């Protein structure tokens, strides 16, 4: 580990690399890819520390960019680090880091939205190993990437992810708040979520217009993954028209008589609105979809 640490520290600074390769000169290109790079080594170190001991871990980083976070992960001596990056310019920038890592780093030039996650697990995991995911997610597709991970938690041990603050607020939102919705229900049922820190726009290059938030997720081992399709379906329907009363929202799935029976089972009135239901209430509704054999 000391030799790897020294090799990484001997590389040019991230800020000088960004300038040398002109990574941010094409603003339209950077904006399209949602590129906002973190340069502060102390912040990068805190992100990696939030994932705990990495010495026995296979780690995935989404959107490696110029390699700032990649460097800090490698310094913690993981068994393997798989860096996913779609920008060819950043792939070129990462080559010296690839050489310095002595085979620990693997770079996949792929779009994470079309990634075969199961294939990666088959290629890099052994026996009962699971993956830790650490990422400063691209703002423009962060929600989609996170949702994909939620639907495929079997091989994930832990996730430490950076979002724009408004997305983090939706993930952590409680019932009867404006941010509470489908993302809140899915995230809170399938994982245990924890806020680690909030970062101002100036922490990034270029500075976004909003603050960012680092969250840590550990899969909820008691969650019934078979309910995910139904939970997704019911939350999608009721939160699309969140101002509707439950009796109207649920009538899109059930008959009037079934809706009344279901609301009685939930011990709730039919004039409540979706955002007043707890995560447990939505899980119960997902189970009832299965009971009534609704697809």
Question: Which of 190, 140, 186 is closest to 166 using CA atoms?
Answer: 140
Mean pLDDT of 90-111: 93
Can you read off the two tokens belonging to residue 174?
A: 């409680």
* pLDDT above 70: residue 84: yes
Whether residue 206 is preceded by a cis peptide bond, meaning omega within 30 degrees of 0, is yes
6-30 confidence digits (pLDDT tens): 888 888 888 888 888 787 666 664 5
The Cα 262–Cα 256 span in angstroms is: 10
Query: Looking at residue 32, what is its pLDDT?
Result: 47
The Cα 283–Cα 280 span in angstroms is: 5
In this structure, of 66-80, 237-251, 275-289, the range with the lowest mean pLDDT score is: 237-251
* pLDDT above 80: residue 123: yes
Largest CA distance in the chain: 71
33-42 confidence digits (pLDDT tens): 556 889 899 9
Give percent of the chain above pLDDT 90: 60
Sign of CA dihedral 27, 30, 34, 39: negative
Give percent of the chain above pLDDT 70: 94
Q: Count CB-CB contacts under 10 A for residue 265.
A: 13
Question: Which of 101, 20, 42, 34 is closest to 63 using CA atoms?
Answer: 34
Domain ranges of the chain: 2-221, 226-291
Cα 44–chain centre separation: 17
Can you read off the two tokens belonging to residue 283?
A: 């899980």
Query: Looking at residue 49, what is its pLDDT?
Result: 97
Q: Where are the alpha helices (DSSP H) in 50-164?
A: 68-75, 88-93, 95-100, 117-124, 142-150
Domains 2-221 and 226-291 share a fold: no
Can you read off the two tokens belonging to residue 80?
A: 């393997």
The Cα 135–Cα 214 span in angstroms is: 9
* pLDDT above 60: residue 271: yes
The Cα 142–Cα 53 span in angstroms is: 25
Mean pLDDT of 64-86: 94
The Cα 132–Cα 281 span in angstroms is: 30
Class of domain 2-221: alpha beta
Backbone angles phi, psi at 67, to 5 degrees: 100, 15
Query: Looking at residue 35, what is its pLDDT?
Result: 66
Query: Looking at residue 147, what is its pLDDT?
Result: 95
CATH number of 226-291: 1.10.8.100
204-256 confidence digits (pLDDT tens): 988 888 999 999 999 999 999 999 999 999 999 999 988 888 888 888 888 88
* pLDDT above 50: residue 102: yes
């Amino acid at each position: 580990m000391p030799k790897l640490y020294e090799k990484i520290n001997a590389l040019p600074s991230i800020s000088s690399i960004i300038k040398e390769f002109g990574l941010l000169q094409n603003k339209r290109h950077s904006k399209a890819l949602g590129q906002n790079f973190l340069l502060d080594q102390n912040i990068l170190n805190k992100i990696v520390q939030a994932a705990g001991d990495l010495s026995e871990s296979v780690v995935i980083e989404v959107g490696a960019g110029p390699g700032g976070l990649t460097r800090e992960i490698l310094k913690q001596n993981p068994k393997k680090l798989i860096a996913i990056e779609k920008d060819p310019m950043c792939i070129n920038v990462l080559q010296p880091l690839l050489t310095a890592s002595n085979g620990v780093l693997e770079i996949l030039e792929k779009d994470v939205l079309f990634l075969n996650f199961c294939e990666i697990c088959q290629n890099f995991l052994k026996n009962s190993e699971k993956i830790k995911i650490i990422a400063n997610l691209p703002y423009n597709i962060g929600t989609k990437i996170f949702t994909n991970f939620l639907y495929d938690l079997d091989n994930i041990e832990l996730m430490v992810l950076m979002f724009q603050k408004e997305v983090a607020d939706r993930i952590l939102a409680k019932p009867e708040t404006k941010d509470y919705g489908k993302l809140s229900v899915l995230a809170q049922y399938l994982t245990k979520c924890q806020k680690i820190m909030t970062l101002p726009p100036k922490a990034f290059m270029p500075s976004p217009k909003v603050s960012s938030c680092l969250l840590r997720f550990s899969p909820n081992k008691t969650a019934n993954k078979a309910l995910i399709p139904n939970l997704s379906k019911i939350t999608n329907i009721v939160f699309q028209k969140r101002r509707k009363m439950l009796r109207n929202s649920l009538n899109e799935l059930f008959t009037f008589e079934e809706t009344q029976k279901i609301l009685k089972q939930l011990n709730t009135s039919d004039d409540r609105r979706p955002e007043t239901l707890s995560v447990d209430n939505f899980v119960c509704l997902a189970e009832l979809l299965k009971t009534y054999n609704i697809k």
